[in-house]
Amino acid sequence: VTFQPFFVLNLDISSGFTLEEALNNFFKVQEIEDYTDSETGGKVRAQHKQTMDKVPNIMVIHLKRFIYDFQFMTIKKLTQTIKYPEQLTLKPDFLSGHLQLKRKENPYKFGLISVIIHHGWNVEKGHYVSFCKDDLGKWIHYDDKTWRNISKED
């Protein structure tokens, strides 16, 4: 077991269209073929699984929109629409054993409060805007020095 603190959860979105799919992919069990056993030196089958051992008060999720395209030897942007809920509850299998036990009394839920979007087709050019929820639950669109109220559907 290796503990690795995180501040941002970086999620691969290359094979999905929802935040839930990206989370399921991140926390799934991965089979490792030909792993070398440190005690015997022999090849064994192993599994790798990530879980959260400590849940942050505020979770920052980064959807990895830029990937390296080996065919064209360049960085490309993934442009599919990714759906995400306004309320996210962590699944039990995303959590370590002791957090799964605590989850019954305190489900780990997160409310969406901000989204940052890159407008543009590649990593070299583009523009970032943000959408943030204020204290009253209303959404605001920020674009450099300007801002405007928007509806949740926008």
- Indicate the pLDDT class of residue 122, thresholds 50, 70 and 90: confident
Element (H, E) at 115: strand 114-119
Closest CA to 84 of 7, 3, 142, 11: 11
Query: Does residue 101 have a pLDDT over 90?
Result: no
pLDDT at 33: 87
Q: Name the pTM for this structure.
A: 0.84
Predicted confidence at residue 99, as pLDDT, reads: 86
pLDDT in tens, 43-94: 988 899 999 999 999 999 999 999 998 999 999 999 899 999 999 999 999 9
Q: b vs e for 93-110, b when ≥16 Cβ sit within 10 Å of the residue's Cβ?
A: ebbeeebeeebeeeebeb
> For the chain, what percent of residues have pLDDT higher than 90?
63
